[in-house]
Amino acid sequence: MQVRRVLSNLFNLCPSAKSCIEVEVEEIEQVIRTLGLQNKRARALQRLSHEYLYGSWTHVTQLHGVGKYVGDAYAIFCTGEWRNVTPTDKELLPYWNFLWSIM
């Protein structure tokens, strides 16, 4: 799958948020070019990485480009706060329902 290959190459180039802001934006653009909108996406990745490292955010949805899906996924998979969200995404919802079923 194209996205998996791009992600693999992107994480090879930028294995951390710090490395993402240190690499030239053109290098990120080249890696993600096949996905389209590479200029916008590359700059968004660098902005997100910078805010993640140096911003005064208290919730992941305060970071640039992070919306409901990522906020819900973060609560479900990273913080254990899955009871505090109600996902609407078709991929997150079955797992969220499963978590409720084993309670």
pLDDT per residue as tens digits for the range 39-80: 999 999 999 999 999 999 999 999 999 999 999 999 999 999
Q: Which of 17, 30, 89, 95 is catalytic?
A: 89
CB 63, CB 53: distance < 8 Å: no
Backbone angles phi, psi at 50, to 5 degrees: -65, -45
Tell how far CA 86 is from the center of its chain: 19
**Model pLDDT, residue 1:** 61
Domain assignments of the chain as residue spans, ordered by start: 1-58, 67-103
CATH architecture of 1-58: Orthogonal Bundle (1.10)
Backbone angles phi, psi at 100, to 5 degrees: -65, -35
Instruction: Report how far apart, in Å, the C-alpha atoms of 6 and of each of 64, 72, 75, 79 are.
Output: 21, 24, 26, 27
**pLDDT tens, position by position, 34-44:** 999 999 999 99
User: Any catalytic annotation for residue 89?
Assistant: yes
CB 64, CB 43: distance < 8 Å: no
